[in-house]
Amino acid sequence: MKALIKKLTEAWGPSGFEHHIRALIEEEVKDLCDEMSVDNMGSLVCRVGTKTDTNLRVMVAAHMDEIGVMVSHIDRDGYLRFSPLGGVFHNTLAGNRVRFENGVTGVVGVEHMWGKPRELPTHDGFYIDVSESYADGKNKNADIKVGDAAGFYRQMEERGDRVIAKSMDDRIGCVVAIEAMRKLKETGCAHEVFFVFTVQEEVGVRGAEPAAYHVNPDLGIAVDICPTGDTPNGHQMDVKLGAGAAIKVKDVRLIVPPAVKNLMIDTAEQHGIPYQLEILSAGSTDASAIQLARSGVPSGCISIPCRYAHTVSETVDINDVQACVDLLAAMLANPIESVKPR
**For every one of its 342 residues, what pLDDT tens digit does the chain have, with 9 covering 90 and above?**
999 999 999 999 999 999 999 999 999 999 999 999 999 999 999 999 999 999 999 999 999 999 999 999 999 888 999 999 999 998 899 999 999 999 999 999 998 877 677 778 888 889 999 998 877 767 778 889 999 999 999 999 999 999 999 999 999 999 999 999 999 999 999 999 999 999 999 999 999 999 999 999 999 999 999 999 999 988 789 999 999 999 999 999 999 999 999 999 999 999 999 999 999 988 899 999 999 999 999 999 999 999 999 999 999 999 999 999 999 999 999 999 888 877
Asked, as a colleague might, if the bond just before 34 is cis with ω within 30 of 0, I would say no
Where does CATH 3.40.630.10 sit in the chain? 2-66+166-333
The helix/strand/coil state of 326 is helix
d(CA 5, CA 3): 5
Backbone φ and ψ for 179, nearest 5 degrees, come out as: -70, -35
281: Cβ contacts below 8 Å, ≥ 6 apart: 235, 236, 237, 251, 252
The helix/strand/coil state of 218 is coil
Q: Are 200 and 37 in contact (CB under 8 A)?
A: no
* Cβ neighbours of 262 (radius 10 Å): 14
The pLDDT value given to residue 132: 84
H or E element that contains 3: helix 2-9
Nearest to 306 by CA among 283, 327, 272: 283
Per-residue CA distances from 230 to 22, 227, 276, 293, 306 (Å) = 33, 9, 13, 35, 10
* Cβ neighbours of 196 (radius 10 Å): 30
The pLDDT value given to residue 211: 97
For 69-152, the fitting CATH number among 3.40.50.300, 3.30.56.10, 3.40.190.10, 2.40.30.40 is 2.40.30.40
Q: Are strands 245-250 and 275-279 parallel, antiparallel or unpaired?
A: parallel
Fold classified for 2-66+166-333: Aminopeptidase (3.40.630)
Q: What is the side-by-side order of every strand in the sheet holding 192-198?
A: 35-38, 44-48, 192-198, 57-63, 219-226, 299-305, 245-250, 275-279
Nearest to 328 by CA among 198, 180, 185: 180
pTM: 0.95
Residues 120-132 as b/e (b if ≥16 CB within 10 A, e otherwise) read eeeeebbbbebee
Burial zone of 326 (CB within 10 Å; 0-12 exposed, 13-18 middle, 19+ buried) = buried
H or E element that contains 85: strand 80-85
Burial zone of 186 (CB within 10 Å; 0-12 exposed, 13-18 middle, 19+ buried) = exposed
Residue 201 among the catalytic residues? yes
The pLDDT value given to residue 137: 67
Nearest to 126 by CA among 106, 111, 139: 111
Of 18, 179, 192, 201, which one is the catalytic site residue? 201
Nearest to 248 by CA among 230, 227, 219, 269: 227
d(CA 236, CA 224): 19
Where does CATH 2.40.30.40 sit in the chain? 69-152
